[in-house]
Amino acid sequence: MKRRRTIRIGVIADTHGLFDPAVSRHFRGVDHILHAGDIGDRSVIEQLEQLGPVTVVSGNIDDEQCGFPSEAVIELAGSRIAIRHILYKGGKLTKDGRAFLEREQPDICVFGHTHQPNVEWFGKTLLFNPGSAGPKRFKLPRAVGILVLARQRIIQKHILFADRRAKVMPRGAMKPYLGCVSGGPADLSVKTEQKSRTLLQRHHAKS
């Protein structure tokens, strides 16, 4: 199916009850928002809904009363997008995560749980973790993501929050949190609130 138009998607996860005001700035004008679980408080979703349409899945800290499914699959601009909180545990793809990807065969799968911004490939599926937008945890960066679906390209970007208590991360220190791009080319740029750095830029053409 051909993509009808370019759309911009805000991607967020692991908010743990916190809605950072920076999210409103970074998600201004997006066409859709995806929350990949560990919401923490329904007010987070209510504030996201003021910015645009939201698709949400629950995470391991969200009880059954939250009312959101544990998995979701939607189609935007001709791309099949799956959302699931846990794909990885201990650095490895889980059995349930693999089964989900093989069953749904999405073009993109958005996930969370690890609190680490990451982008990689599982076959022809782009796996995208925006990182955690919740309270700061250890030395992990706080971040959200942007996906741009443009014709035959999928462009990804991580936006790292400039936390007052956090030291500015040297360029090399970002690498462990960004994962690697494997299995195919992609566009990947990382931006902080103070400075934009392009780490890798390649074009992904769907086969």
Distance CA 131, CA 157 (A): 11
pLDDT value for 4: 59
The superfamily (CATH) of domain 7-201 is Metallo-dependent phosphatases (3.60.21.10)
The strand pairing partners of 119, in sequence order, are: 128
The strand pairing partners of 71, in sequence order, are: 84
Flag whether the pTM goes above 0.85.
no
Distance CA 162, CA 146 (A): 17
Q: Are 79 and 57 in contact (CB under 8 A)?
A: no
pLDDT tens readout for residues 58-99: 999 998 778 899 999 999 998 999 999 999 998 899 999 999
Q: For residue 65, which phi and psi values (nearest 5 degrees)?
A: -75, -10
Mean pLDDT (whole number) for 152-177: 62
Distance CA 35, CA 14 (A): 8
pLDDT tens readout for residues 125-147: 999 999 999 999 888 899 999 99
Distance CA 85, CA 111 (A): 5
